[in-house]
Amino acid sequence: MAGRPPIEDLKKAVVELVPDGVGTAAIAQEFGCSQRRVQQIVKAVGLARLVEPVRPHLDDVVCEEACRHGDNYGVAMLLGRGVYVAHHFAYSWHMDLACKLQEYGIYVGALIDGDSRKALRLVALVDKLPVTIYDKLFAPAANSHGLPDQLITDKGSEWFVPSKRNTRVERFNYEINMRVLVPVRRLINVLELRGLLDRYLGKHVYAFSRVMQPLVQHGLDLLEAAWNEHSVRPVRNMEHSGGIPNRRAVLRPHPGGQLKLPLRFDGVHEYEEARGRPLEHTSRDDGYDSEWCARPAARARAVAAVVGDIESAWCELQDCSYTRSIDAYLCFLSYYN
């Protein structure tokens, strides 16, 4: 105990020095005791708030770190979440791909209007090449509805946001996954359990993808029609944001009229000319039947001939009746054996 300062002297020093701005570490060093002991006394005598950094000091620290590290550190921490704004139809479109079954050559492209939340286009794709997305997803929607003020995606450089903030279409992906892709996933489980489908064999994936495309598209068509005629909930803190998507799109039109793509406009060619080099037009996994890849309508008719009635086949798939789908897959696969 020798050398330890008397408790009364230490308390007296704390009461005198702390209000003057002397820190607990300096007091502990001066009196030869632990800083923890000084902090206990500060708390006991009711001076704890005096040793906490004042707010102006904290603001100075934040500003300094924001300038030193940039927006990702300072501004992102200071700015709260904003309120989503879309003033009218086609003010913003949100585009994304649902890729839960990409290992089996099945992708779903979705395009959602930000204001009305209308599903503008849902399409089954065999790859996610930019050319495919433009030709099959964006261009048909632009031809039907006109060009939007902004197209928001989670890729690229303009109107780009992280996927977690592309909420209009990211939330809709749940509907795609649960109402369309889950029945296909169950079929995949059955095929893999029986040893009939191997995702590491290109011809297996190719055959399965081609057989499933018309069925998936039929499911997407049903989902799009049902979604656009059902009532969506209002968005928090936004008045008059609920309602039926189709009706909202009509009642809240674009105020200035929308530009449309010029007749026979080849957006891919124009982009390649400006870019100075061609884009990739063929997926690396599509080497088994180039003719059918280039003729999706012919492929759909051929698959329909194998599967039979698409609507009945889709209903059977939802009812977990897989005989027709498995027979069609094996028949299609036999072309490449």
pLDDT for 246-282, tens place per residue?
Answer: 999 999 999 887 888 888 888 888 888 888 888 887 7
Q: Is the residue at 233 inside a domain?
A: yes
Q: Please tell me whether residues 189 and 51 are part of one structural domain.
A: no
Same domain, 196 and 268: yes
What confidence score (pLDDT) does residue 189 get? 96
Percent of the chain predicted with pLDDT > 70? 77
Same domain, 178 and 212: yes
Mean pLDDT of 231-255: 87
Question: Quick one: 192 and 232 in the same domain?
Answer: yes
Residue at a domain's end among 78, 104, 129: 78
Residues near 151 by beta carbon (within 8 Å), at least 6 away in sequence: 92, 93, 95, 138, 159
Which position has the higher pLDDT, 37 or 297?
37
The number of domains in the chain is 2
Strands in the chain per DSSP E: 93-98, 107-113, 119-125, 151-152
Q: Are residues 114 and 30 in the same domain?
A: no
Same domain, 59 and 134: no
Q: How far apart are CA 321 and CA 330, in angstroms?
A: 16
Q: Give me the torsion for CA of 10, 15, 20, 26, rounded to 10°.
A: 20
Same domain, 165 and 51: no
Average pLDDT over the chain, rounded to whole? 82
Q: What is the pLDDT of residues 167-180, one digit of tens each?
A: 778 888 999 999 99
The H-or-E segment that residue 183 falls in is helix 182-193
Last residue of a domain, one of 78, 102, 129: 78
DSSP per position, 201-256? SHHHHHHHHHHHHHHHHHHHHHHHHHHHTSPBPPPTT-TT--B-HHHHHHHS--TT
One domain for residues 219 and 293: yes
Is residue 2 domain-resident? no
Residue whose C-alpha is closest to residue 308's, from 177, 201, 218, 197: 218
What is the predicted pLDDT for the residue at 333? Answer: 83
Residues 106 and 48 in one domain: no
Residue 133 lies in a domain: yes
Res. 78: pLDDT tops 50: no
Residues 290 and 149 in one domain: yes
pLDDT of 117 higher than 60: yes
Q: In sequence order, what are the residues at sequence separation of 6 or more whose Cβ sits closer than 8 angstroms to the Cβ of residue 116?
A: 89, 245, 246, 248, 249, 252
Domain membership of residue 1 (yes or no) is no
Alpha-carbon distance 66 to 78, whole Å? 10
What is the structure's pLDDT at 163? 53
Last residue of a domain, one of 25, 48, 78: 78
Q: Are residues 139 and 113 in the same domain?
A: yes
Q: Which residue has the higher pLDDT, 63 or 10?
A: 10
Q: Is the same domain home to 29 and 125? A: no
Domain for residue 160, yes or no?
Answer: yes
Intra-chain end-to-end CA distance of the chain, in Å: 90
Please check whether residue 330 lies inside any domain of the structure. Answer: yes
Q: How confident is the model at residue 289 (pLDDT cuts 50, 70, 90)?
A: low
Averaged pLDDT for residues 211-238: 90
Within a domain: residue 194? yes
Domain that includes residue 45, residue range: 9-78
Q: Is residue 3 part of a domain?
A: no
